[in-house]
Every structure is written in C-alpha cells, then in structure tokens.
Amino acid sequence: MTSISDRPAGAASDGAGGAAVVRPAAMSDIDALLRLEATAFEHDRISRRQFHHLLTKAHAACLVAEASGRAVGYALLLFRRGTSLARLYSIATDGTLRRQGVGRSLLAAAEDAAVAHEAWFLRLEVRPDNLAAIRLYLHAGYRRIGTYLDYYEDHSAALRFEKRLPASAVADCRVPYYAQTTEFTCGPAALMMAMASFDADFPLGQRSELELWREATTIFMTSGAGGCDPFGLALAAHRRGFGTEIFVSQDDPMFLDGVRSGRKRDIMRLVQEVYREQAAEAGIPVHREPLTGAQVRAYAARRSVCLTLVSHYRMHRQKAPHWLVVHGIDDRFVYVHDPWIDEEDMDTLAAKANLPIPIAEFERMSRYGRTRVKAAVVVSDRPTP
C-alpha cells in the first residue's frame, strides 16, 4: 500500500467511481486509522493518543471510508472556534483501491462535514509533486492561494489550496503573516504585520517583536509577563513614522480585571496614563467610540490596517486579551490574521492566516473584560515626503 496523501492537508485519489461508504470515525476505528497512518506516511504520523483526543475532545471531524467491512481511507478536518474556516489536515487511502473513487468520496464528505460545522472555507496544503492530488483538487473547484517554502520535513514546499463552499467573496490580503513567538506578544506581532504591509523591508523577527513589546506593554497582566495597550501600540507605530488612530470605548484604564495586587493595579494605571499623555503630545487622533464595520470598510479601501482587541476565550478558551489584524471585510465576514499558533492543537500558519470570522461572531469577540471594552488601532502608510 502507498500513500496518496500529504500532511498537513494532503492529497486524495484521482480515480473515478465510489464504492466506499464514508461515515464518522468511532473509537473502534483507531487501530484501522493507525494502520492507514503507518502505510500512508513516513513521518509525523498521528499517534494513538492523538487520535483518541481528536475523536473525543478536539474541535475536529474524522471520517472513515469503509468498503467490504474494512477501513480503506480516512479524512481529518480541523475547525477553528469563532471562524468559518475548516482545514483538511490529513486524507489518506488504501493504495490497493486506487482509482476506485475513495479519495474523491472522502473529499466530498469532508466538504459536507465542513458545511455542517458552518464553515464556508476549506483549506489544505499539498506537495507540488503530488500531481494526482492537485488534479483532484482543481477538478473539485479548489484554487491555489499560495506557496509555503520548506514546509515538509524533507524541506519540500507546499502548495496552498482553498475552496469557498458556499459562494462568497474573499478579501484581497496584502498583509504578510507573522506568528508571535511568546505567549504575551500578540500585540507586537499584530503591529509588525501591519507595518510590514507598508514597508517590505520591515524586519519580521523576534528582536523587533520584543522591542515593540517593551514599548507597548502595560507591565502586568492577570498572569504572565504583560499585555499591550492600544495607546502603547499606536505610539510604537507613530515613532516609526506610520500614521495611527486609536478607537477606544471607554476612558478607564484597561486590563485591571482580576489583578488582585493593588501595587500592580497602580503601576498599570500609571503606565496607561503616560501612554495617553504621550499620544496627546504626538497628536494621535483618539476616537472615544468603538470601531464600526463601516469604518473598517473605509479604512480597508484606503489600504489601512486595523488591529483589534478581542477576547482570547472565544477563539482559544483562554481568558486573556488578544490582538488580531483585521485586513478586510465583506457582507458576511471579517478577515483577520491571528498571530497565535498553538502547535499542541495542530495549528500551523495555514490555520491562522486570513481567517474568515462571521461578522456577528466578530462583534461578540471584539470586547474584553467585565467592562466589555472595545479597542482598535488603525495603522496607515508613512506620509509621502
């Protein structure tokens, strides 16, 4: 038996027909799934423990193709909470049944499962030399959206494909993606993406990330090393010559919920007061109101980039503030880059770049804390000399 798949988001049979029946995987299928893993993949195989997690606790769907009473293929879908994106993480078939339509049946079933989970976009990656898989995806209506260099363990590139399951417009994304390298630098990572969209030479690396964090952090958070204030982020961009505007729904200091130490609360208040004074001295426009969808559209039309504060809980089940990059909006979705990649949850860049979030869900997540504060920073290009 041979693999006809790549991981993440691999390939499928190029055959016609459809003898196999596709059904949801059960715990009793784990041995069969492990057998398919062993024959289909040489590296990075999903373990028994991971399959157990995927079938019981993960935000995922695993489908099995069954023929003559045995499993002859499987497909694994991962879903991202709060978004309309599904990812085809892995798909494999029994090589003895090539050209029997197993891969095509699994792909169709995966799309149906994605729609059932209210996903409007299905993405995958495939090796450039997997021509059979590429033909299958193109025939099924997928379009190529990019390339990841040095993606697989053998340093092969990966071609990225996407399909809009119901018809929908997709925002044109010109903002590069950068993943935060620490648990506390989502704000700097988001700001770096915004600035790099205007300056191709802007250094996307940990040195810049930590430098920006030192400039923008409020020092203390409910836990961890610190969080970034919208005024601090705007000031950091302003110092580098970029245009900035701040939207904030309240005047009170932010991020004080759950900070029990009076000393820490006093320090956080003082840091934020200094940021506000510096922003006023710098002439940065401050709007004492939430950023609206209509304003996001207007800024996007002017090629500005919006950084938006959200509740990390709605996306990642962690009670902490989190910054996203908003680079587009249409009638149904807000399009964002999420800088947080959780490798333990099988996240990759492919899963976190250009996420489509339903507008209603984005409205729910873009407020934080007991006061439900809403905050955003708009970053624009440097003015022409």
291-306 pLDDT, tens per residue?
988 898 899 888 899 9
Domain identity same for 118 and 199? no
Note whether residue 173 is domain-resident: no
**pLDDT value at 315 more than 70:** no
Does residue 197 fall inside a structural domain?
yes
In a domain, 16, yes or no: no
196-249: pLDDT as tens digits = 999 999 999 999 999 999 999 877 654 444 578 899 999 999 999 999 999 999
Segment of 39-43, 280-284, 330-334 carrying the highest mean pLDDT: 280-284
Are residues 205 and 72 part of one domain? Answer: no
Q: Indicate the pairing of strand 121-126 with strand 85-93.
A: parallel
CA–chain centroid gap for 58, Å, is: 16
Q: Clarify whether residues 210 and 302 are in a common domain.
A: yes
Structural domain count, the chain: 2
Mean pLDDT over the full length of the chain: 83
- Full domain range(s) for residue 63: 21-164
In a domain, 181, yes or no: no
In a domain, 275, yes or no: yes
Q: Identify whether residues 197 and 262 lie together within a single domain.
A: yes
Domain with residue 220: its CATH number is 3.90.70.10
Whole-prediction pTM = 0.65
178 within some domain: no
Angle between helices 102-116 and 131-139 (to 10 degrees): 50
Same structural domain for residues 149 and 286?
A: no
191 and 88, same domain (yes or no): no
Cis before residue 290, ω within 30 degrees of 0?
A: no
Let me know whether 288 and 358 are in one domain: yes
336 and 195 in a common domain: yes
Residue 100 has pLDDT above 80, yes or no: no
Is 10 domain-assigned? no
175 inside domain: no
Q: Within this chain, do residues 203 and 135 fall inside the same structural domain, yes or no? A: no
Pair 335, 275 in one domain: yes
What's the pLDDT tens digit per position in 112-143? Answer: 899 888 888 899 988 898 888 888 899 888 98
pLDDT at 385: 52
Please tell me whether residues 152 and 195 are part of one structural domain. no
